[in-house]
Amino acid sequence: MQAAAPARTRDLVRLLETDIHLGRLGAGSWLRQIDLEAAYNATRLDIRQALDRLVEKRLVRHIARRGYQVEDFDPARVAQVMETRAVLEVAAAALVIDRLDDAALATMQLHAEAFARALEAGTVEDQEAANIAFHTTMLAPCPNREMVDLLFDLRARVPAAVIRRRNTMDLLRRGADHHFAIIRLVRARDLPALQQVMREHNLSPGAP
């Protein structure tokens, strides 16, 4: 919720998305256009357009003549999104396992370590950044860009704040371990085992 230079629709979508994603805007919060106008230093029209786009993405609910509020995420839907993500990640794994070179694996190693460190001594924001960086690097050589875009889109559909809520430190550490296992299995070109870990990584209750 920072004020900044005048923001256009696309920026607004990203800013609001981030605020929802990290839980700065909790489920049920009312998003008053006037407040947002001031908070983000944007015009009414841009605000409205951004909100409509978030409604389309089902992160925000719109009630006629009442306003916009952050959608609440029932566990069933979260599970469905994660199952879908798992299916696609497993498919993507097959597409990248032979395309990840040593340089890419080294970068992944850095991000995996950064994630593990952020778990112990960083903010949720830091964790998210490191985690996204890890998966971005892993999916970079995937020839199917549509699939990759879709995966990140699915990631954005469920706020990290919602997932992390019922997440023990133990589960998070297991997620960190998955990262290292993934690197090892890619290096060994062991697709079945890799896919098994990818699936588990995406389906665990608090999947990073």
Partner DNA sequence: GGCATCAAAATTGGCGCCAATCCAGAAGGA
Partner DNA sequence: TCCTTCTGGATTGGCGCCAATTTTGATGCC
Where on the chain is the footprint of a second copy (CB under 8 A)?
9, 49, 52-53, 56, 77, 80-81, 83-84, 87-88, 91, 143-147, 150, 154, 157
Q: Can you tell me whether residue 99 is helix, strand or coil?
A: coil
52 or 125, CB closer to DNA? Answer: 52
The entry of DNA, a second copy, none that residue 184 binds, CB within 5 to 8 Å by partner kind: none
Determine the Cα–Cα distance for residues 27 and 20; give it in Å rounded to an integer.
Answer: 8
Around Cβ 13, how many Cβ atoms within 10 Å?
20
Q: Residue from 45, 106, 169, 188 that binds DNA (CB under 7 A)? A: 45
The entry of a second copy, DNA, none that residue 81 binds, CB within 5 to 8 Å by partner kind: a second copy
With tokens 């970079």, the residue in question is: 140
Give least dist CB 158 to DNA, A: 25
Give least dist CB 34 to DNA, A: 4
The entry of DNA, a second copy, none that residue 146 binds, CB within 5 to 8 Å by partner kind: a second copy
Q: Residue from 64, 76, 103, 121 that binds DNA (CB under 7 A)? A: 64
Q: Which of residues 5-34 bind DNA (CB under 7 A)?
A: 31-34
96: which 2 tokens? 């990248």
The secondary structure element, H or E, covering residue 30 is strand 30-31
Would you call 95 exposed, middle or buried from its count of C-beta atoms within 10 A (0-12, 13-18, 19+)?
A: middle
Determine the Cα–Cα distance for residues 5 and 130; give it in Å rounded to an integer.
Answer: 27
Strand order across the 30-31 sheet: 30-31, 67-70, 60-63
Q: Residue from 26, 28, 67, 205 that binds DNA (CB under 7 A)? A: 67
Q: Which residues bind DNA (CB under 7 A)?
A: 31-34, 43-46, 48, 62-68
